[in-house]
Structure 1
Amino acid sequence: MALEQNRVAAVQSGASRVMAILDVLSAADASAFPDGLSVADVSRLLGREKSVVSRQLKSLLETGLVARDEESGRYDLSWRLFALAVRAGDQRLTKLAAPLMLRLTEAVRERTYLTVLSDGEVLTVHSESSRRSIEAVNWVGRTIPVNRSSSGMALLMDHDDEHILEMVRRGDDGVSASEARAFLAKVQEARQRGYSVANRMFDPELTGIGAPVRDFSGRIKAAVNISGPAFRVEPHTQVFGAHLLATVRALQSSLCPEARSTA
């Protein structure tokens, strides 16, 4: 038993030392250390022996979690680490969103969706059913053009206006210049309101309401939206919008408890 406890303690201690190095590399001021940190820099910042830090950095280099500049010998976080972080963040987002979306669906009694931008289109990654006889369809794994949904508007809220026009115009569904400007106007309205409304845009019988989900840096990571028959959703747009924003704030707080929600 004591041997097992010592082994676990050693693993935890090793993981803590690794995280400390990664934290130091991620917190380095890019203007002061444009090429990364040297072994001496990391040693000084952590208060550890230079030889120990050198061995730890070489071990992290072998695993691909850090990168080393061949000329300067300085270390920085690797692209592999960023890729792993993105994948972990995506999985965590879906797991945290599911129960919150279920509560939202129960509150508004309409289907809800979690969506992301994928190659210039809106991809649905999770959905919760209202379990009503008439509801919007389950769209998980399928994409639609950004200009056809409330999610598209929400996902593009922080994009430059010209970029939004360009993205909409280069789609495959033949959007005219006037249609692109009309879509941009709806995005601009959504920025002021905090959530988007797509009234009979994707389907003549559906109305959608969407809000962006932001990560720890304030960037839009995904969108949550409510979609249902227009005759049921239209009379309750403001109420549904309030429920939606509350859900997004809760999701953002779960994703990063220390970050202030900007929904």
Structure 2
Amino acid sequence: MNEANVPRSVRSQGHGLRRDVDLLEALGSPEAHRTGGLGVVRIAQLVGRDKSQVSRALKALADEGIVERDPDSLEYRLGWRLFSLVARTSESRVVRVAGPVMHRLAADLEETTHLCVLHDREVRTLLSVSGHSYRLREWEGRGCPAWITSAGPVLLEGASPDELYVRFGATEEVSVPDLWSRIRRAEAEGFAREVEEFEPGLVGVSAAVHDFRGRVVAALNVTAPTERFASRLDHAGQAAAAAAAKVSAQLGWEPRQ
């Protein structure tokens, strides 16, 4: 059908949707990811639109939970509802590719495995599977502070101390120097470990999943009770790293020698 034959109201809706997608693309950009959010002026510059138009569109998206506005900085970021939709879809390529690999890892270690992503200051679980080939849905969608997990350091791979201060701030809650050290150690060892920082009596390991551009897009995590898992962290970390590399390869990543 020729666009000229499409009713004006339908064309207007299509153009409006494309403009909203442009805003979401800006909020999903590396710049927004690095700084933790973008202001209206910067977003308007990126999409080439009038500031007042962008402000109205963002407010409408925020009302629906598609984006969020920080009450202190007044900057926008992708919202909980958009993330929830992505997290729940069974068509997510990372979830599809990671699932079978996670089942094998869970069976080999006889522990539960989790697929995690970074969302602002939190690590959130997209998928959880056990060694008995069933999903543990109570973990899926849950978030926890990135700095108390083993997944946090691998998901923050490549971040500079300045970027960590921008994301987490200089608060008593987060020790950026300690987090920076954990990131560097994870990069050197190929996996990160966590000993009862997330929860007393639990330990865990995580390894990074890369996409075809080499960006870290997820982490494979294994968490289990200290009494049965603490002595196996090195072995589990290496197994998680090997599994994460398999997922990365299926996503098109070719590690540099």
Q: 1:189 to 1:89 in 2, by over 3 A?
A: farther
Q: Which runs of 4+ in 1 moved over 3 A?
A: 78-83, 86-90, 168-171
Length, aligned pairs only:
184
Provide the residue aligned with 1:209 in structure 2.
205
Does residue 229 of the first structure (1) align with residue 225 of the second (2)? yes
SS of equivalent residue, structure 1 residue 204: coil
Alignment of 1:22-171 (within 5 A): 79=22, 91-130=92-131, 138-169=138-169
Provide the residue aligned with 2:185 in structure 1.
189
CA distance in 2, matches of 1:180, 1:81: 29
SS of equivalent residue, structure 1 residue 110: coil
Asked if 2 retains the 8 angstrom alpha-carbon contact of 1:146 and 1:168, the reply is no
Asked if 2 retains the 8 angstrom alpha-carbon contact of 1:252 and 1:261, the reply is no
Displacement after TM superposition at 1:103 (Å) = 0.5
Q: Of the two, which has the highest radius of gyration?
A: 1
SS of equivalent residue, structure 2 residue 141: coil
Supply the AA of the counterpart residue of 2:212. F
CA distance in 1, matches of 2:122, 2:226: 23
CA distance in 2, matches of 1:170, 1:81: 28
Asked if 1 retains the 8 angstrom alpha-carbon contact of 2:191 and 2:238, the reply is no
Does residue 260 of the first structure (1) align with residue 254 of the second (2)? yes
Identity of aligned residues (%): 27
Displacement after TM superposition at 1:262 (Å) = 5.9
Displacement after TM superposition at 1:165 (Å) = 3.7
TM-score normalised per structure 1: 0.60
Supply the AA of the counterpart residue of 1:187. I
CA distance in 2, matches of 1:194, 1:222: 14
TM-score normalised per structure 2: 0.61
Query: Deviation per CA, 1:126-185, whole angstroms, max 9, x where unpaired?
Result: 011245xxxx994210111110101111100111122224433468xx515xx3322221
More displaced, 86-95 or 204-213? Answer: 86-95
CA distance in 2, matches of 1:198, 1:165: 21
Q: 1:80 to 1:95 in 2, by over 3 A?
A: farther
Supply the AA of the counterpart residue of 2:209. V
Displacement after TM superposition at 1:79 (Å) = 4.7
RMSD (CA atoms): 3.7
SS of equivalent residue, structure 1 residue 241: helix
Structure 1 portions without partners, runs of 5+: 1-62, 68-77
Query: Deviation per CA, 1:192-234, whole angstroms, max 9, x where unpaired?
Result: 1111011111012111101111111111111111111112222
CA distance in 2, matches of 1:252, 1:144: 24
CA distance in 1, matches of 2:130, 2:140: 11
Displacement after TM superposition at 1:89 (Å) = 11
CA distance in 2, matches of 1:80, 1:164: 25
Asked if 2 retains the 8 angstrom alpha-carbon contact of 1:154 and 1:210, the reply is yes
CA distance in 2, matches of 1:246, 1:261: 13
